[in-house]
Amino acid sequence: MMKPSPILIAGPTASGKSALALSLAERIGGTVINADAMQVYRELRILTARPSEADERRAPHLLYGHVPSGEAYSAARYAAEAREAIATVESSGRIPIVVGGTGLYFKALTEGLSPIPPIPDDIRAHWRRRASEDGPAALHAILRARDPDMAERLRPTDPQRLVRALEVLEATGRSLAFWHKQPGEPAVHVAAGRAIVVSPEREELHRRCDARFDTMMAEGALNEVRALLALGLDAELPAMRALGVKSLARLIAGEIGTEEAADAAKSETRQYAKRQLTWLRRNMISWLWVNTQETECFSRKLVEFIRS
């Protein structure tokens, strides 16, 4: 095992990956860099289990809570910001530790993104306006007529991805499916022993998911959702689809009770964790897989190697 950086730690929600990253950062002089699509949003510290202020005092953290919930953060923007963050951390003499549950973000770092040319502002504004005025079903019909292959891949209720497909088609004359097949430029090369997937046993993961939501409720998740709803944001924005937002919004509206809201949010979280694991098994087969009980042993061995 060589000594390249950064260290990459992936895993499903509630797996304990953030605790491992923080522990390593303290012991090896590391800086934790986010790779979770929801933890970037400023207004969602509790509901996304973002590192606490106490955690941030224990070690430096980057790319957490720096995006307003009214913005739609993208993998392309993440790749650019993460590349810059990694370079900054390395130049300071610290070790970057990239941690999160968004597989696409790790894929963007380790494989690069498709080299899609920049989209002119007028084209982007046009399709966003069409989405607002006509709705996603109309956009899907347009895409189906112009690019049936791409339309088959997208849900008629997903305006963000439909807008992206149409603006790329108009700006470049090529389908987004074409661009997805083009190789990108990786920012990080996966090194043996430095790319980890934390994967608890199924029952343990479910228990952790449930317990974490109970903790979130105790810490004020309901008020956090109230504040988010008060912003009057488009329901299709990514932040509005964070785990638990829909259930707690229904609780706030008086449509369901507290127990039903909690049960729905816990079920949603468990299902999401299952989808994450499915994606990770397909795409990160070469990474080192450890269960939650093995993380301390792994952490100790990695620390010993880095210090040797």
**Is residue 189 included in any domain, yes or no?**
yes
- Interval 82-132: pLDDT, tens: 999 999 999 999 999 999 999 999 999 999 888 888 889 899 889 989 998
Tracing tokens 């468990």 back to the chain, one arrives at 270
Which residues in the chain show pLDDT less than 70? 1-4, 192, 308
Same domain (yes/no): 198, 249: yes
Report if residue 239 sits inside a domain: yes
**pLDDT value, residue 257:** 97
Q: How far apart are CA 119 and CA 113, in angstroms?
A: 15
| Residue 192: count of CB within 10 angstroms of its CB | 11
Residue 4, pLDDT score: 53
Q: Which of 180, 196, 220 is the last residue of a domain?
A: 180
Domain with residue 173: its CATH number is 1.10.20.140
Record the pTM.
0.84
What pLDDT does 278 receive? 95
Question: Of 156, 180, 204, which one is at a domain's C-terminal end?
Answer: 180
Domain membership of residue 2 (yes or no) is no
List, for residues 229-250, the tens digit of each pLDDT value. Answer: 999 998 889 999 999 999 999 9
Same domain, 205 and 242: yes
Same domain? For 288 and 223 the reply is yes
The range of the structural domain enclosing residue 101 comes to 7-113+184-307
* pLDDT at position 3: 45
Q: What is the pLDDT of residue 308?
A: 62
Domains identified in the chain, total number? 2
> Is there a contact between 63 and 81 (Cβ–Cβ < 8 Å)?
yes
What pLDDT is attached to residue 180?
84
pLDDT at site 124: 87
Alpha carbon 149 to its chain centroid, in Å, reads 26
